[in-house]
Amino acid sequence: MISCTKCQTIPNIHSAGYIEIFTTVPQLNQSLHDLMGRKQLDHPLVIPFVGQEALADVCRLIASNFNQAAVDMFFCSTYSENEREKSQPLSFSQFYSRVQHPDYIEIMKNSLFTSHMQPIITLADQSITGYEFLMRPTSEDFLFYPNELFEMARQSGLQSFLDSAARIASLKVSASHLENGTKRFINFLPSSIYDPAHCLRTTFQAVNAFKIDPNDLVFEVVETEKINEIAHLKKIFKTYQQEGMKMALDDVGSGFATREILLELKPDYAKIDRSLISHSDQDPVKQKYLIEMVSLSKEEGITLLAEGIERKEEVDFCREIGIPLGQGYYFGRPAKEPVTALQV
């Protein structure tokens, strides 16, 4: 069995004590000692500190005196005066990112976030068929933009932890607000899932614990992910689908989510990028592309969803050409409570 803590815990960085900095490159070790004014060559270099700002000062000194290639060869851990057990060693870049963003660490450690729900509509009768779950803060003392939080998590080696926690938060909210039979679209980052059978175990356990019908779940490859490892993504899709869950590809028609990728992955749902939906009723080029996508989706058994709908004319056009599902501010914004009746 694989043992991995990437999605389970965030090790502490001590608030006072000692930082150990080590490298396997002798020349860098010598340069580090010279920078810190140490005549005796130790390995690792140990520096006492009191408080996060003092720790940040040490990190800033290293970052400003070594280039990125050198910085990547340093590793750091901390321990306290009374507690000789060291924190988990981290690359310098990950360590420094965590030291620089204590608020974001607090948000992740204490799950200071929830999910808001944006309705997904069946265009034929404008009934609500499901919701997409989008991360939002729960504390006014710890506000954040989700994309910035995820970027910091990536830089600090906490992406797997945050991605897993966000999925479970979405499942929890969905279980407390929605009846079985309602689709729940939940985002995930493929690069956070190293081994699907192992990394998705906590997600599947949460599905069972919250008594959610797996058939109601649609896991969505989020827009920020570069789809550059198709074989790995196929494994992830297969692992979800073996549990009875559905898969969605986001931003189809823009960036990395091309028609070729769509044919390669064959997701259950394809969400058409908002740039193609906006004013599509007035744009012959967009219309031609969308009509081709409808034909392709029918051939491949893929359900299309039009994202970013903001005008009635876009609703009418998408419905007329055969796009079955829609989502956007025209129908409703993300909210704490699920919209149960449309005001359009």
SS3 335: strand
pLDDT, position 226? 65
Using a CB cutoff of 8 Å and minimum separation of 24, what contacts does 65-70 make? 65/35, 66/28, 66/31, 70/28, 70/31
Long-range Cβ pairs for the range 242-245 (8 Å, 24+): 243/204, 243/207, 243/214, 244/214, 244/215, 245/207, 245/214, 245/215, 245/217, 245/218, 245/219
- Whole-number pLDDT of residue 223: 56
Q: How much is the pLDDT for 5?
A: 57
CATH topology assigned to domain 106-326 = TIM Barrel (3.20.20)
Amino acid at the residue 231: A
d(CA 253, CA 245): 24
Amino acid making up residue 344: V
CA distances from 7 to 134, 193, 246 (A): 19, 9, 22
Nearest residue to 162 (alpha-carbon basis) of 223, 235, 110, 95: 110
Q: Is residue 243 a contact partner of residue 233, using CB atoms and an 8 Å limit?
A: no
CB 297 within 8 A of CB 304: yes
Q: Which two tokens stand for residue 34?
A: 């010279």
Q: Domain-by-domain residue ranges, the chain?
A: 16-100, 106-326
* Phi, psi dihedral angles at 65 (to 5 degrees): -115, -5
Residues in a beta bridge with 163: none
Distance CA 137, CA 50 (A): 31
Give the span between the Cα atoms of 88 and 10, in whole angstroms: 9
Q: How many angstroms separate the CA atoms of 46 and 40, rounded? A: 12
- Provide the token pair at 328: 């956007």
Distance CA 279, CA 282 (A): 6
Spatial contact of 313 and 293, defined as CB atoms under 8 Å apart: no
Tens digit of pLDDT per residue, the chain (344 long)?
Answer: 344 556 668 988 999 999 999 999 999 999 999 999 999 998 899 999 999 999 999 999 999 999 999 999 999 999 998 876 788 899 999 999 999 999 999 999 999 999 999 999 999 999 999 999 999 999 999 999 999 999 999 999 999 999 999 999 999 999 999 999 999 999 999 989 999 999 999 999 999 999 999 999 999 998 545 667 888 999 999 999 999 999 999 989 886 667 888 899 999 999 999 999 999 999 999 999 999 999 999 999 999 999 999 999 999 999 999 999 999 999 999 999 999 888 77
Do strands 183-188 and 127-137 pair parallel, antiparallel, or not at all (unpaired)?
parallel
Strands 127-137 and 113-122: antiparallel
Instruction: Looking at the chain, list the stretches that DSSP marks H as alpha helix, in order from N- to C-terminal side.
Output: 26-35, 52-65, 68-71, 92-100, 102-109, 146-155, 159-177, 196-199, 201-209, 230-242, 259-265, 274-277, 284-300, 312-321
How many residues belong to the chain?
344
